[in-house]
Amino acid sequence: MINSSETVVLSEDSDSHFSTSTEMSMKSNKSGEYTFKILVIGDICTGKTSIIRRYVHNLFSSQYQATIGVDFAMKIFHCSNSSTARLQFWDIAGQERFSSMTRVYYRGAAGAIIVFDVSRASTLDGVTRWKKDLDSKCRLSNGMPIPAVLLANKSDLLKYCATEQLSKLDSFCARHGFVGWFATSAKLSTGIAEAVSNLCEHASMIMVEMNGNFEIPVVSAISNIELADESNKKSVRKERKPTCCRG
């Protein structure tokens, strides 16, 4: 069982530099420390950034700027076996599913969080497309898909919208290969920690089974993208535009 620490080692507003190598998620032999790259994906304005801000910084605001490209945040977990897990959250913009860049963003991920807005039924349809995109571009070296959890976000609005949608999520998750789903609210800070813990448990089990190897095979060449190596790490830059998306 993995329990989250309140320690925050990197603000998502920091000038972040992450390698996009094929082995982003592995166990350090010297320190016994795991690094898990966690993708956070879903349609526009489903509350992805709000979820990360609440989980990493325990902050919430009803007004945030829309993510353009990809943003980063990090949090430390302390595991029950006395090892440490660094969670690298990759907050990927909702419109990026239509971009060839997602293959680069997905590379080396240990797990994924896919988010939809319970007050907008169309965003659940978007989940199907995001999961298909993820599974087609990011698999473990044994050919299996990376573990993914589904977040039914903005659950604080359930009194205003039909709850029948949630009653069908068990079968939806089984059909589309999710390891589980959670009703979450970034506003009320509910369900998020449980979802991340569940995802990390699955990633940890896979880590042990694969002896720490999360290498993602290259499916096809990308001629216009140069992946960073240890001697020349590139940062994926971000821009933002104002909008109002609550979590």
pLDDT for res 8: 32
pTM value is 0.75
**pLDDT mean across residues, the chain:** 75
Is it the case that residue 7 has pLDDT exceeding 60? no
| CB-CB neighbours of 57 under 10 Å | 14
Is it the case that residue 35 has pLDDT exceeding 70? yes
For every residue of the chain, which 3-state class applies, written as one string? Answer: CEEECCCCCECCCCCCCCCCCCCCCCECCCCCEEEEEEEEEECCCCCHHHHHHHHHHCCCCCCCEEEEEEEEEEEEEEECCCCEEEEEEEEECHHHHHCCCHHHHHCCCCEEEEEEECCCCHHHHHHHHHHHHHHHHCECCCCCECCEEEEEECHHHHHHCCCHHHHCHHHHHHHHCCCEEEECECCCCECHHHHHHHHHHHHHHHHHHCCCCCCCCCCCCCCCCCCCECCECCCCCEEEEECCCCC
99-128 pLDDT, tens digit per residue, is: 678 888 999 999 999 999 999 989 999 999
- Tell me which of 1.10.8.100, 3.40.50.620, 3.20.20.60, 3.40.50.300 is the CATH number of domain 2-10+31-220: 3.40.50.300
> What token pair was written down for 150?
């589904």
Is it the case that residue 234 has pLDDT exceeding 80? no
Of the pLDDT bands very low, low, confident and very high (cuts 50, 70, 90), residue 231 is: very low
End-to-end Cα spacing for the chain: 27
Distance CA 27, CA 141 (A): 16
Of the pLDDT bands very low, low, confident and very high (cuts 50, 70, 90), residue 5 is: very low
Is it the case that residue 23 has pLDDT exceeding 60? no
Is it the case that residue 42 has pLDDT exceeding 50? yes
The listed range with the strongest mean pLDDT (81-85, 148-152, 166-170) is: 148-152
Domain ranges of the chain: 2-10+31-220
pLDDT for res 220: 34
